[in-house]
Amino acid sequence: MEARSENFGPHLMLDLRKCAREKLGDYGHIFKILYELPQAIGMTKITQPYVFPYSGLVPEDKGITGTVIIAESHISIHTFQEKDYVFVDVFSCKDFDVEKAADYIIDAFESEDYDKHIVNRGKDFVRYGSPEKAAAI
């Protein structure tokens, strides 16, 4: 018989609108969020944030994209300067204070309107191979 967890972990997804436009195009600001957020929510950063400007085929879609790999999974940010919009994902294999993370991110972009989605991923994910291993932890 395999030991199962309730789920793998929470996935916080934020769609932020009506943000401070100057922050959406600020490379340093995006880097700082990705650098500081993991520690603020009890995660372990295993890479430096990777942040770069984006300007693709649709000029008004320009923005900053960044990610940081954490031992527990990842955090990503995609800004759209001309549209005052940001997409942020925080995914972790362990529980974290999703409200604290959401508040941190919403405040960092000064978002006036947003959608927050929290999904518990990995229903029936096998965390440990046997009940004995699960009991030992």
Residues near 59 by beta carbon (within 8 Å), at least 6 away in sequence? 82
Question: From CA 34, how far away is CA 125, in angstroms rounded?
Answer: 28
Question: From CA 81, how far away is CA 118, in angstroms rounded?
Answer: 25
* Structure-token pair, residue 10: 């929470």
Residues designated as active site: 73, 78, 93
